[in-house]
């Protein structure tokens, strides 16, 4: 397929490279021009409009303001050569997802929300878990692209914003797991038990899952750089989850705790470190950080 890819951050680079490996013709654009030269086999283009055309356009931008600036304020949906479909793979707010669905419908451009679970190394292998929602016929047309980037596509109905709600719910659980490990390790340390030993036990038995094992190993080794997913982006996702919860009338009291602890971590200079650095908040408050 002829694909335009917009957004070549840590995740986008691996995703675009996976499309190239699968044999798709890929045009790439990034707000920072140097990134476009990092994808072997892809064709760099000078403007977002040149990427937003063809059989499909894919966006993987950092946040709501970036996506709004490029797609909405950039007027891409008003171009004379719109893409056959737009796959929005960024982690964005439910409110913006709903707005984008309406804007695309008015412009006559098929729109699918398809945020992903996985870190940059998983993106490079084309092994992401992709959450997709939108018109089933459009999602089916997108299947060759989604299959190139992911190990499995999980479908959540026809309303695109549902995929974004699922993504935020998942990230809330992920941050909750890191907070729990940080507090448990600080508690164990307070009783003379090395936190690393506790986490080795628990992530090998009761909590032997990728999130606990991966982030648990980082916490045990105090290894927070280089980041796979930086802490300030995790804070952004918790804020988005709280806003969506408020709009739906759903209390999320622990999300409020996470928000405050993430702010604490950023106030101590950890915003650009890996999300696992959230565990340092509990250690610091216990006098051991």
CA distances from 33 to 30, 64, 167 (A): 6, 20, 29
Characterize 206-245 residue by residue with b for buried, 16 or more Cβ atoms within 10 angstroms of its Cβ, and e for exposed: ebeeebbeebbebbbeeebeebbbbbebbbbbbbbbbebb
Kindly name the residue from 167, 213, 232, 273 that is annotated as catalytic.
Answer: 167
Q: What 3-state DSSP class applies to 142? A: coil
250-284 burial string, b = 16+ CB within 10 Å, else e? eebeebeebbebbebbbeeebbebbbbbbbbbbbe
What is the rounded distance in angstroms from the CA atom of residue 129 to the CA atom of residue 211? 13
The residues pairing with 274 across neighbouring beta strands, listed in sequence order, are: 230
Let me know if 79 is exposed, middle or buried by CB neighbors in 10 A (0-12, 13-18, 19+): middle
Confirm whether 167 is a catalytic residue. Answer: yes
As annotated, the active-site residues are: 167
């Amino acid at each position: 397929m002829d694909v335009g890819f917009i957004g070549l951050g840590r995740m986008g680079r691996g995703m675009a490279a996976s499309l190239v490996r699968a044999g798709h013709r890929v045009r790439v654009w990034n707000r920072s021009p140097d990134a476009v030269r990092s994808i072997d086999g892809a064709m760099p283009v000078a403007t977002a409009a040149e990427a937003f055309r063809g059989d499909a356009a894919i966006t993987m931008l950092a946040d709501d303001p970036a996506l709004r600036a490029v797609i909405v304020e950039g007027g891409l949906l008003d171009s004379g050569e719109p893409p056959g479909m737009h796959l929005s793979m960024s982690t964005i707010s439910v409110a913006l997802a709903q707005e984008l669905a309406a804007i695309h419908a008015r412009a006559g451009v098929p729109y699918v929300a398809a945020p992903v679970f996985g870190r940059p190394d998983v993106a490079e292998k084309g092994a992401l878990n992709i959450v997709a929602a939108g018109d089933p016929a459009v999602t089916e047309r997108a299947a060759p692209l989604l299959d190139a980037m992911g190990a499995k596509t999980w479908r959540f109905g026809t309303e695109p914003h549902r995929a974004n709600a699922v993504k935020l719910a998942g990230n809330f659980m992920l941050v909750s797991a890191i907070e729990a490990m940080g507090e448990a390790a600080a508690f164990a340390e307070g009783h003379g038990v090395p936190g690393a030993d506790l986490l080795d036990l628990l992530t090998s038995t009761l909590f032997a899952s990728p999130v606990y094992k991966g982030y648990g190993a980082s916490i045990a080794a105090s290894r927070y750089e280089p980041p796979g997913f930086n802490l300030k982006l995790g804070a952004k996702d918790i804020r988005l989850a709280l806003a969506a919860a408020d709009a739906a009338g759903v209390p999320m009291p622990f999300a409020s705790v996470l928000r405050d602890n993430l702010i604490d971590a950023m106030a101590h200079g950890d915003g650009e470190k890996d999300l696992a650095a959230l565990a340092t908040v509990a250690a610091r408050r216990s006098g051991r950080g």
